[in-house]
Amino acid sequence: MGNLYIVATPIGNISDISLRAARTLLTAEIIACEDTRKTGILLKEIAKLFSGYTERAKPKLLSYYDQTEVQKTPEIIQLLQLGKDIVLVSDAGTPTISDPGFKLVRECIAQGIEVKTIPGPSAVIAALSVSGLPTDRFFFVGYPPKKDGHRNEFWMELQKAKQELKTTLILYEAPHRIMQTIEEMIEVFGKDQHVVFARELTKIYEETLRGNLEKMKDHFTKTEPKGEFVILV
């Protein structure tokens, strides 16, 4: 029986790769990944960091993303049962955290297949650590729903959680929905609610904005939102 390795990869700066993660990726036989092209580039970049590395046979890259999770999971389970070790990566950060992999991990556990973690970068933790907001407890909710009706319910539940749990809330948002999200947050939390918007973490244009929602609305009215956002409330 093989093992499934959940390997965290850099969210921006390639130097953030851990030694253990690099070794696992460079010696892997099979890697399941969201985007085979991006993972191929990542492997080449990691190899450059290790001048003494002697390239082995290139790993087989299996495409594994949200829309293929259900159909690909049985194939990967079969390979694991045949004794193949398989590495799971996402495009960036820690797999299964608002990324594909949950269904695969759950099925591995059900089948008695060992799942091992090789921890590393996570945008959630990176943003929280520099936010200046309380870090002793936090509530991560991933991306808001896309449909308006579901979004309304989402924000009301989040407001309730904020009041009852007295915790830092963390969510992701895509750049093209930032203005909509700010408007909706103002309706629920009020324009004076203090928030932190972090984007492009560990990259050249890394930016962490702190202030109330009115300030964020004004900022993104004048500046085009770019990059995936971590929003903390």
Report the 10 Å Cβ neighbour count for 190: 11
pLDDT number for residue 56: 64
Question: In degrees rounded to 5, what are phi and psi of residue 29?
Answer: -90, -40
Q: What is the C-alpha separation between 179 and 226, in angstroms, rounded?
A: 12
pLDDT digit string (tens) for the chain, length 233 residues: 999 999 999 999 999 999 999 999 999 999 999 999 999 999 999 988 876 565 566 899 999 998 888 889 999 999 999 999 999 999 999 999 999 999 999 999 999 999 999 999 999 999 999 999 999 999 999 999 999 889 999 999 999 999 999 999 999 999 999 999 999 999 999 999 999 999 999 999 999 999 999 999 999 999 999 999 999 99
**CA 109 – CA 96 distance, rounded (Å):** 15
Q: Which residues pair with 170 in a beta bridge?
A: 140, 232
User: For residue 157, what is the enclosing H or E element?
Assistant: helix 148-165
Cβ atoms < 10 Å from Cβ of 86: 24
> Which of 66, 62, 68, 70 minimizes the C-alpha distance to 87?
62
**Rounded CA separation 129/153 (Å):** 29
Taken in order of first residue, the domains within the chain and their CATH numbers are: 4-118 (3.40.1010.10), 123-232 (3.30.950.10)
Residue length of the chain: 233
Beta bridge partners of 209: 197
